[in-house]
Amino acid sequence: MRPLSPLGMAALGSGIIGITYGLARFVFGLFLPAMRDELTISPTMAGVIGALPFLSFVFAILAATWVTRHLGIRRTGVTAAGLAGVGLVTIALAPSSLLLAIGVLICGISTGLSSPVMAETVHKVVPFALRGRVNATINAGTSLGIAIAMPAVLIWAEAWRSAYIAFAALAALGTLAALLYLPKEDRVSASGPRPIALQASREQWLGIARLSGLAVGMGGVSAAYWVFAPDAVINAGGLLPSQTAWMWLAVGLGGLLGAGAGDLISRFGPAASHAAGLVVTSASLALLALDPGNFALALVSAALFGAGYMTLSGFYLVRSTQIMTEAPSFAPVLPLLATSIGQVAGSPLAGWLVGAEGHVATFMLFAIVGLAVAGLGAWLLKERGR
């Protein structure tokens, strides 16, 4: 089979990331109100379950470089998409909150495997000058998966199980595409060469550490929106569940701007790019807190959140591969891991605050934290970005 072109790689990678990130991980919050009603889940328990895919992502991404080296690109990509399908089916059939938790755990594993293997594939098949753009475009595939959830909600309304069965069918198609089109590589023996990541310089490690520290803060700030934004506009704002579908469409469409993360870094530098992403994300949280019952404002908030979050996740991916150019599957591991650590901490904290203080106070507090992280990033990244 002919090697993938940069455009083909961008399309295939976007599809797989759209399935593993968009459908298997981030769409959960959209269906959470219906899940809470049917399975009798409290706000605190919802926050804990919402943190589980981020937690399993942590362990999966730590193993992703090793898995990619030993299974090869194609097998790892097939495994990632296949696990997304298994997790989505488990959620669809879950008779209790326990099985629901197991399903979201499996989905998190698929997500943790997918980003490193896509970065490794880009390194193998895309010319150096186009890698940043292709990586950012693939990362923005998350937005496509989120946008797909919009017609699913309109079609099935509160029938979340039917929606998840449809998502699992898409995951099966993604698994087949990975099997057919990802490059095949031989497994690496245990006595193979020393991983390049271990040979990185002190300055490279410091650069990755700075990104990772900021990513913890970004992950914590974003967790409230991913898990509780639909819950906020329904329970605190009085909007209909079907209206949240339009919000998630706005998140997906806004998130497509994240495809420009690589170009943003090239033009404005790391410090300004990172600060802009967090300011936009914080603004989205504050807007939702101002009036969760205002549908037009909720749509603006959702579009801003999608743009801010996808730009930031693309920033961490692209910038990390720029810092460790010879370790493309390892470079994004720590920043993406740090993002999930922040989300693991932020999701149950948001759930506790929603139960104790309500949605409005929770979202405003998280917006303030986001601005603080933006200021910290402007200081940490400014000199090093020149």
Mean per-residue pLDDT for 126-146? Answer: 86
Q: What angle do the packed helices 28-39 and 241-255 form, to 10 degrees?
A: 160
Give me 81's structure tokens: 């998409």
Instruction: pLDDT band for 75, please (50, 70, 90 cuts).
Output: very high
The torsion angle over the Cα atoms of residues 17, 23, 27 and 33, rounded to 10 degrees, is -170
Give me 82's structure tokens: 């296949």
Model pLDDT, residue 273? 92
Mean per-residue pLDDT for 66-83? Answer: 93
Task: Locate CATH 1.20.1250.20 in the chain.
Answer: 1-183, 198-385
Instruction: pLDDT band for 157, please (50, 70, 90 cuts).
Output: low
Q: Round the average pLDDT of the chain to a whole number and report it.
A: 87
Instruction: pLDDT band for 383, please (50, 70, 90 cuts).
Output: low
Q: What are the tens digits of pLDDT across the range 177-203?
A: 999 999 986 554 444 444 555 567 888
Q: Which CATH superfamily is domain 1-183 in?
A: MFS general substrate transporter like domains (1.20.1250.20)
Provide the 10 A C-beta neighbour count for residue 125: 18
Contact 337, 62 (CB under 8 A): yes
Instruction: pLDDT band for 259, please (50, 70, 90 cuts).
Output: confident
The hierarchical CATH code for the domain 198-385 is 1.20.1250.20
The string of DSSP letters for 306-373 reads HHHHHHHHHHHHHHHHHHSTT-TTTTTHHHHHHHHHHHHHHHHHHHHHHHHH-HHHHHHHHHHHHHHH
What's this model's pTM, rounded to 2 decimal places? 0.79
Higher per-residue pLDDT: 177 or 123: 177
CA distances from 247 to 14, 153, 200, 216, 240 (A): 21, 11, 42, 25, 11
Give start and end residues of each alpha helix (H) in 182-330: 202-231, 241-255, 261-290, 295-323
